[in-house]
Amino acid sequence: MKATGQEVTIVMVEDDEGHARLIEKNVRRAGVNNEIVPFTLGHKALDFILGPERDGLVSKDRYLLILLDLNLPDMSGIKILEQIKSNEHTKRLPVVVLTTTDDETEIQKCYDLGANVYITKPVDYEGFATAIRNLGLFFSVIQVP
């Protein structure tokens, strides 16, 4: 997956190790070989995406695709989404929300904040694997701006 000729880095913010392995496995199975940078804590992911100063300059010339769980141990994924989408250097980064929450209000809030895709993780392994496999196929054909 490339953006204007440059490799896209996938930033995975997921605290469940089993889900993280499953996501990576199925993204790879779909033929997407981009670097995946995993984070289990929201503040660490924000350090990577926005920089320690949270000014976003570190990502000014980077191409990132963010996979974001909403239920993290240290902060809400919605807070992360708000910070990414309100920063002039990161507001155009594509964010795919992957979470077990299927509350309509929360889904709408994520879209209102600028999430590009919202995927509810099925609680059963097979359903989750299928959803992630489809996501990997989606990644293999999209262009990131």
Higher pLDDT, 65 or 144: 65
Q: Which residue from 103, 142, 138, 139 is spatially nearest to 120, judged by alpha carbons?
A: 103
Tokens at 38, concatenated: 């995993």
47-62 pLDDT, tens digit per residue, is 999 999 999 999 998 9
Residues 39/12, Cβ–Cβ less than 8 Å: yes
Rounded Cα gap, residues 98 and 43, in angstroms: 18
Residues 65/144, Cβ–Cβ less than 8 Å: yes
pTM of the model: 0.86
| Residue 3 reports pLDDT greater than 70 | no
60-82 pLDDT, tens digit per residue, is 989 899 999 999 999 999 999 99
End-to-end CA distance of the chain: 11
Kindly report the average pLDDT of the chain as a whole number: 86
| Residue 12 reports pLDDT greater than 80 | yes
